[in-house]
Amino acid sequence: MVDVTDKAKKYRSVGYYPGCALEGTGNGYDVSTRAIAKKLGLGLREVSNWNCCGAMEVKNVDPKIQTYLSARVLSQAVNEDRVDVVMAPCNGCYHNLKKAEHDLAHDPKSVEVVEKLSTKAGHKAYKAGEAETIHALDWLKATVGEDGLRERTKGKLAGLKIANYYGCMYVRPRHIFPEKDQGPGSESTSQPHFMDDLLAAAGAENVSFPLKTACCGGAHTLSDSDTSTKLVLNILQAAEASGAEVIATECPTCHTGLEMHQVRAEKRFGKKTNVKVLYFTQLLGLALGIGPRALGIHTNISDSMDLIIEKRLI
């Protein structure tokens, strides 16, 4: 069992690693995460002069370059910003930082490459164990928590039917997330529930959704669009069949993938779906009384304003 109060204190002020996606297509996620932090009085210190973590592409050129890129981000956080917790809302970033942590703790060859590249690049090499990487879900679950949300939101999301979609990189592969699957209070890799818990605390009705950790084909959104469209359409249709009005996301690649291929499925396959797609931080922001524009909802591709007005979330 993990000590909850200890975490609540530790995560109140964390290093924040937005990553490339949150600066670009996933801007709504960045804006809403910062807005929530401000509202809840949580400290976010952006990792200074960060670089890309390697996303899903660099490992295909060489996996150790990805380990180095992620290790440099952690090195910046530890050595420049003096933080020991790095919060990454993007699943890709979160996954890669966790993967680097795992590789540096278990694979001597990775340590060797990271040390060599770090020395040549002129910065201190990151060593396993110097920082803890957490997801935005871990961060909110430990700080404000379900009780805090229940108190602050007064069940504002009541009547909103949500399918919680976690995607691949948050749960797989299991071995890079040693803190998951540790029994009560920890996250599950087969049936993740942190997002469900937070949204339920804000009053939402979570539908039973079988494709929580299905793949959206995000890595091939552009390079193999037909496959991505098929995978996304499956997720959208399953969400609708489960009775969901909105899909809550916690990854910018999944989010953009769902939105883009929702349009593409209609244009190319003639399959129209009406389910909305919002970041879980946007939904929690609405529940906390923050306005849609301040949560970047107008920068999403799909237009969710009708639903937001209908459910009296403004």
Partner 1 sequence: MPIHEKSLIRPENLKTHDNLVIEGIDVSGHWSTFIESRVVTDYNENLEDEIAAMPGGDKIHRCWQCGSCTNACTVNAIEPRFNPRYWIYLIRMGMESELLRDKDIIWQCVSCHKCTHICPRDVEPEGVMKATAHWLTMKGYTPPSPSHIFDEEFTHQIVQRGRIEDTEVLQNFLRKTKQPLMQDWLTAIGFAIAKRLPVKWGIKMAWAQIFKPKTRGWDKARIALEDYIHEVESEQKAVIAGKSKPQQSHAPVREAAE
19 is written with which tokens?
């990553």
Q: How far is the CB of 217 from partner 1 (least distance, A)?
A: 5
C-beta of 206 vs 228, nearer to partner 1: 228
Q: How far is the CB of 312 from partner 1 (least distance, A)?
A: 21
Q: How far is the CB of 29 from partner 1 (least distance, A)?
A: 14
DSSP string covering 38-68:
HHHT-EEEEPTT-----TTTHHHH-HHHHHH
Q: How far is the CB of 280 from partner 1 (least distance, A)?
A: 21
Q: How far is the CB of 78 from partner 1 (least distance, A)?
A: 17
DSSP string covering 71-111:
HHHHHIIIIIS--SEEEE-SHHHHHHHHHHHHHHHH-HHHH
C-beta of 28 vs 143, nearer to partner 1: 28
In single-letter form, the type of residue at position 227 comes to: T
C-beta of 40 vs 65, nearer to partner 1: 65
Residue 125 makes CB contacts below 8 A (sequence gap 6+) with 71, 75, 114, 115, 118, 119
How far apart are the C-alpha atoms of 31 and 46, rounded to whole Å? 13
Q: How far is the CB of 39 from partner 1 (least distance, A)?
A: 22
Q: Helix 145-153 vs helix 194-201: angle between axes, to the nearest 10 degrees?
A: 30
How far apart are the C-alpha atoms of 172 and 97, rounded to whole Å? 13
The residues binding partner 1 (CB under 8 A) are 20-21, 23-25, 49-52, 54-63, 65, 68-69, 72, 106-107, 109, 113, 116-117, 120-122, 168-169, 171-175, 189, 214-215, 217-220, 222-224, 227-228, 230-231, 259-260, 263-264, 267-268, 298-299, 301-303
Assess contact for 71 and 95: CB atoms under 8 A.
no
SS3 at position 132? strand
Assess contact for 250 and 197: CB atoms under 8 A.
no
Q: How far is the CB of 83 from partner 1 (least distance, A)?
A: 18
Distances (CA, A) of 312 to 8, 101, 252, 281: 31, 43, 26, 18
